[in-house]
Structure 1
């Protein structure tokens, strides 16, 4: 039995029928796949358009729904909603990494899980939907898929820097020494995985894993915040 493709999944889940399926195919094509192949279009131009469409849709939604909020606050909320982490969150909900066309080399080095590749592909898909169905239908699609992110942003649940939030939480009653200790790392140099613990006075508060020291430290801080019952977004 042939596995259903991403276009079919989109059409079925969101009751769509693409008149131009080539555009969505391009949206799913990473630049690495086009290298060495003639006449292969990839999704970078669509990313450019999708970013603008997403910005406008979210801006319009916030402007109309939250009439009492000033411009500065709306801008901050929008920056939390329209960001790489949010796009990555949407991509993971769709299991998008499974469907992106990329080179074998990109795939071997973790491309199907790379935040930037997944986030950019979501923008390209938004552009493809806009070109097929117009602004109004694209806006509905965006709000449906970003609804949980929007709610978390409005309720101040999205934290972009877990290390800073952990520091603020621990030091609210005075200075506390916080250390991030690299426990170990493993894997080849091009795909090394780091394991980190965050500690105060030799007490381990949380642990995290990532494909960079920075990522593992952020994940350790997030783990510590969750164990301290500090509400944080799972973005």
Structure 2
């Protein structure tokens, strides 16, 4: 076993899941690495599978553990727990970024800490666990990953209305109203929007999306997360999140 394989084996051991080395490597292979190395298989099919398993596990858990919540509130909580920002937080907590196989371009632009890539890789890991270990182990794995997120009750409101939540937090901190700067790029039929949110006149976070609204929502949620962390004394650096929070089980916003 070489050093890289040993490190990945350590990751699997730390996560408490006996995923085989080949499937684990596939789960950690981003498409940018695959394309730069002759079209190798990458993790997007596993991500597709993991997204479904994640949604089911979270939905069943919320239904069973919250008998007094109506359908609307359950849906809001599920959306907050399976959003790209939430999954990226999970990924950072387990040090997943350092294990992802990225192309050179993504490595140079900080791909190992991009929320979109981290979230996708978490889902791919869930898919790999399902295939190698079965549905029960995969469900336990999902719940173990997201359980810490349940301990932050403020998360539910922020994920559903990030711009309002950021405005309220900025007001409590005496930082004034947030403002947004939005740029777009790409052809008319496939534009991408990049939003930067300023709080107290200083850029705090940025976000990308397929519309101005989605980009601003992504930036607002990332800024809210960073300011909450700083307020709690944990500290954080500004990051770019690539998509707005997913409204249901898909992590690309469709509002």
State how 1:154-233 maps to structure 2 within 5 Å: 155-158=153-156, 159-160=158-159, 161-168=161-168, 178=177, 180=179, 197-199=198-200, 208-210=204-206
SS in 2 for 1:69: coil
Which one scores higher on RCO, CA 8 angstroms, separation ≥ 6? 2
Instruction: Give the whole-Å Cα distance in 2 for the aligned partners of 1:134 and 1:91.
Output: 22
Equivalent residue number for residue 108 of structure 1: 108
Equivalent residue number for residue 22 of structure 1: 22
Instruction: Give the whole-Å Cα distance in 1 for the aligned partners of 2:25 and 2:229.
Output: 39
SS in 2 for 1:63: helix
Instruction: Give the whole-Å Cα distance in 2 for the aligned partners of 1:44 and 1:36.
Output: 16
Kept in 2, the 8 Å contact 1:32–1:102? The answer is yes
Kept in 2, the 8 Å contact 1:100–1:112? The answer is yes
SS in 2 for 1:208: strand
Taking structure 1 as the reference length, the TM-score comes to: 0.72
With over 3 angstroms needed to count, the CA separation of the structure-2 counterparts of 1:224 and 1:41, relative to structure 1, is closer
Unaligned runs of 5+ in 2: 182-194, 209-214, 237-255
Cα RMSD (Å): 3.6
Equivalent residue number for residue 137 of structure 1: 137
Instruction: Give the whole-Å Cα distance in 1 for the aligned partners of 2:223 and 2:15.
Output: 36
Kept in 1, the 8 Å contact 2:49–2:127? The answer is yes
Unaligned runs of 5+ in 1: 183-193
With over 3 angstroms needed to count, the CA separation of the structure-2 counterparts of 1:225 and 1:180, relative to structure 1, is farther
Measured after TM superposition, the shift of residue 121 of structure 1 is 0.6
Measured after TM superposition, the shift of residue 151 of structure 1 is 3.2
Equivalent residue number for residue 187 of structure 1: none
CA deviation string 1:157-185 (max 9, x = no partner)? 4413554224356889xxxx836388xxx
Whichever of the two has the greater Rg, that structure is 1
Taking structure 2 as the reference length, the TM-score comes to: 0.67
User: Aligned pairs, how many?
Assistant: 208
Instruction: Give the whole-Å Cα distance in 2 for the aligned partners of 1:114 and 1:12.
Output: 24
Measured after TM superposition, the shift of residue 63 of structure 1 is 1.1
